[in-house]
Amino acid sequence: MYLCYTAHLPLLYIFIVYGVLPVLDDLFAHDWANPTLEEFMELEDQWRFKLPLYINIVVEWFAYFYCIRELLKHPLYTQPV
């Protein structure tokens, strides 16, 4: 993300977050450590299973608004008016 800031390319943030990361997630998403349906049903009631999900929601919202704030700091067009 340092390249996005120093090169003044704020749209590169959006391309990386919504373009590159989903493609990488699709290519490398298969995880053999995921629980089966039976294990999932057992884990569903435990707080240790739900806590990372709730933490992820909070962190994702924080990252979203942080990126929006960073994008708003820089003009989209750097040409003089």
pTM check: above 0.75: no
Task: For residues 81 and 78, give the distance between their C-alpha atoms in angstroms, rounded to a whole number.
Answer: 9
pLDDT at 77: 66
How many whole angstroms from its chain centre is CA 15?
Answer: 12
Average pLDDT for 16-29 = 86
Give the pLDDT band of residue 40 (cuts 50, 70, 90).
Answer: confident
Domain range annotation of the chain: 2-73
pLDDT at 70: 84
SS (H, E, C) the chain: CHHHHHCCCHHHHHHHHHHHHHHHHHHCCCCCCCCCHHHHHHHCCCHHHHHHHHHHHHHHHHHHHHHHHHHHHCCCCCCCC
